[in-house]
Structure 1
Amino acid sequence: MRPEDLSVNEVHGCQNRRIIMFERILIPIDNSSESWVAAHHAIALAQEEGSQLIGLYIADEKVISSPCWASADAMDPLSPGCDPMMLQQSENIRKQFKELGEKALRDLRQQAATAGVTIETYFETGIVPEIILEYAQNADLVVMGRRGVGGKWRGPLFGSTFEAVVRHAPCPVLATVSDPRPLNTLLVAYDGSDRARDALEIAMHLALEKDRRLIILTVDDGKHDRTAASFEAAALAREKGLSAKRRLVKGHVAEQILIAADEENVDLILIGAYGHSRFLAAILGSTVNDVVHQAATPVMICRKQP
């Protein structure tokens, strides 16, 4: 049974009204160290937000079926198909996936319980990114390591599993690189686009939650005057009661984001899934790609659920 769709929840206290932005956090895991780092980030964020975790382990059908594909002659229409020995090998791989998956999900449930976080877990078999994206339809955030959870492969979504999820997920994706640390300083890249507004809204929410330092970075790449966008973002932050630091710089966008993150000792970078270009709506934009793969801190690629 698939997890049901749940919307943003509003929690009412005696005098305070709190919005849980990430009510359901999806954490796909495998047995890689990267996926467990991502799990630790997801648990820490779930503790802060009061979120429910969705743990997902996927047995990769491409790996399970590989012995049969290797034994069958794809060029011979009269080929008898998979050799019985290869079929048995595939079944052995399937059983190994099941054992590893059950252990990984059991460990994840234990870690969540220790942290006081509610969790539901699922084991699936299929094409890794396709199943992650199916579950992402009913999540508010996906947390993944930049590697792991399927690694690199070539298939219907092309490229690595992580990149496929970032391109197509309907919700934000948090890319992790190391064990979680306190999120004291947030950097949001803002260019005035709709996706940048999504990133700014999430950044402001996180800043307000724990009185965090917020830096709004706008980069003038020489193609567009971003001055108005910079002041617009600062005004939006003030409306929320935030005194954000505004940085307006010139240069290559990804390079300036990475420089600012280093200079400001940033703990989390937030960036829109893509900028203004319609072409970039279909693929992972070069700016996002460069930042995600070069940043020394976690990066949240932001797009809000429709």
Structure 2
Amino acid sequence: MTDQVMAAIDGSQFSASVCDCAAWASLALAAPLTFLHVVDNHPQTAEADLSGNIGLGSREHLLEELSHLDEQRAKVAQEQGRLMLKAAKERAIEAGIAEPATRQRNGTLLETLEELQDDIRLLVLGKRGETAHQSADHLGSNLERVVRTLHRPILMVPDAFKTPERVMIAFDGSKTTRKGVEMVAKSPMFNGIPCHVVIVGAETGDNRSQLEWALKTLRDAGHEAEGAIRAGEVEETLRTYQGDHAIDLLIMGAYGHSRIRHLLVGSTTTSMLRRASVPVLLLR
């Protein structure tokens, strides 16, 4: 099934909001919805801890027991996943999705998504997975790896979702963000939702020209659009604008060619994502 909205769920606190966000996107895009659960059956590394003054027979017995425990854990994880997928499907049907699909795979989330990405129109992920640190400022390592690897739009959802009423594009004139403006202009997902375009930088002729292009592109497609050029540090400036204008969905390029790039690349990766309290749509 191609051109689908795919939502990756697990046992984290974010799964309910992922379900709701994915259902909204599926309806808005008129695209099929698939829920994905991945059972990560990494082999246990306990064998390396068994060296010492035990006899070979005892060691073999312990390894057999560990292998049996691994099998049991895998069965439990699969059954838990099936129950989560069933609940997600029921939640989506209540939201108006006619026939949501479910898939369960073994492996790692990243490898699975790489394999399936040709079928994905939009990927919906929670801010953190069930095994991640629960600090509000912590970002799940799965999300960081997926953002760096996949070449599909990714919608990251915090632990609560509401239907967006105002969206903001963090715009820097790069190829990625220009494509983002064009995508927003033609995407049915944003029909009827006012769109703000924000450039962080000086009030120069080039920035003004870039902003006017973005606003014209959106307005020509029938969108209500307004824009601003703001001086200051990128993250703080975007966050302030978001709060001042009640923005409830942020759109930005995962890899640009300006200061915005440094929010998502390098030693201080994904700074905006870490502190995001609203969904963030990342474009490649």
TM range (shorter): 0.7 to 0.9
| Counterparts of residues 229-240 of structure 1 (less than 5 Å) | 229-240=210-221
Deviation at 1:54, TM superposition (A): 1.4
Q: Name the residue aligned to 1:170.
A: 151
Q: 1:301 to 1:190 in 2, by over 3 A?
A: same
Q: Name the residue aligned to 2:47.
A: 71
User: Greater shift after overlay, 184-193 or 195-204?
Assistant: 195-204
Are 1:269 and 1:300, in contact at CA under 8 Å, matched by a contact in 2? yes
Aligned-partner residue type, residue 72 of structure 1: A
Write out the 4+ residue segments of structure 1 that deviate beyond 4 Å after TM superposition.
73-76, 78-82, 206-209, 221-225
State the aligned residue count. Answer: 269
- Whole-angstrom CA distance in 2 between matches of 1:193 and 1:150: 35
Alignment counterpart, residue 189 of structure 1, candidates 157, 170, 180: 170
Are 1:29 and 1:149, in contact at CA under 8 Å, matched by a contact in 2? no
- Whole-angstrom CA distance in 1 between matches of 2:106 and 2:189: 40
Q: Name the residue aligned to 2:276.
A: 295
- Per-residue CA deviation, residues 105-148 of structure 1 (Å, 9 max, x unaligned), is 11122122223312221111112222123223310111111101
- Whole-angstrom CA distance in 2 between matches of 1:251 and 1:301: 22
Q: Name the residue aligned to 1:156.
A: none
- Per-residue CA deviation, residues 240-268 of structure 1 (Å, 9 max, x unaligned), is 23341110011112221111111110010
User: Greater shift after overlay, 260-269 or 124-133?
Assistant: 124-133
- Whole-angstrom CA distance in 1 between matches of 2:156 and 2:177: 17
User: Greater shift after overlay, 90-99 or 287-296?
Assistant: 287-296
Please state whether the residue corresponding to 1:144 is helix, strand or coil.
strand
Please state whether the residue corresponding to 1:226 is helix, strand or coil.
helix
- Per-residue CA deviation, residues 182-226 of structure 1 (Å, 9 max, x unaligned), is 311110011111210232123334588532111110111799963
Are 1:219 and 1:253, in contact at CA under 8 Å, matched by a contact in 2? yes
Are 2:167 and 2:194, in contact at CA under 8 Å, matched by a contact in 1? yes
Are 1:257 and 1:291, in contact at CA under 8 Å, matched by a contact in 2? no
Are 1:72 and 1:80, in contact at CA under 8 Å, matched by a contact in 2? no
Alignment counterpart, residue 40 of structure 2, candidates 37, 57, 60: 60
Deviation at 1:239, TM superposition (A): 2.5
1:258 aligns with 2:234: no
Q: Name the residue aligned to 1:40.
A: 20
Q: Structure 1-normalised TM-score?
A: 0.78
Please state whether the residue corresponding to 1:184 is helix, strand or coil.
coil
- Per-residue CA deviation, residues 4-47 of structure 1 (Å, 9 max, x unaligned), is 4x3xxxxxxxxxxxxxxxx4111111111212211111012212
- Whole-angstrom CA distance in 1 between matches of 2:131 and 2:179: 28
Q: 1:285 to 1:198 in 2, by over 3 A?
A: farther
- Whole-angstrom CA distance in 1 between matches of 2:269 and 2:165: 22
- Per-residue CA deviation, residues 80-100 of structure 1 (Å, 9 max, x unaligned), is 797011111101110111110
In percent, how many aligned pairs have the same letter? 25
The runs of 5 or more residues in structure 1 that have no matched partner are: 7-22, 153-158
Q: Name the residue aligned to 1:12.
A: none
Q: Name the residue aligned to 2:121.
A: 140
Aligned-partner residue type, residue 59 of structure 1: V
Q: 1:214 to 1:24 in 2, by over 3 A?
A: same
Q: Name the residue aligned to 2:208.
A: 227
Q: Name the residue aligned to 1:14.
A: none
1:104 aligns with 2:80: no
Are 1:173 and 1:301, in contact at CA under 8 Å, matched by a contact in 2? yes
Are 1:254 and 1:288, in contact at CA under 8 Å, matched by a contact in 2? no
Are 2:203 and 2:229, in contact at CA under 8 Å, matched by a contact in 1? no
Q: 1:90 to 1:226 in 2, by over 3 A?
A: same
The runs of 5 or more residues in structure 2 that have no matched partner are: 134-139
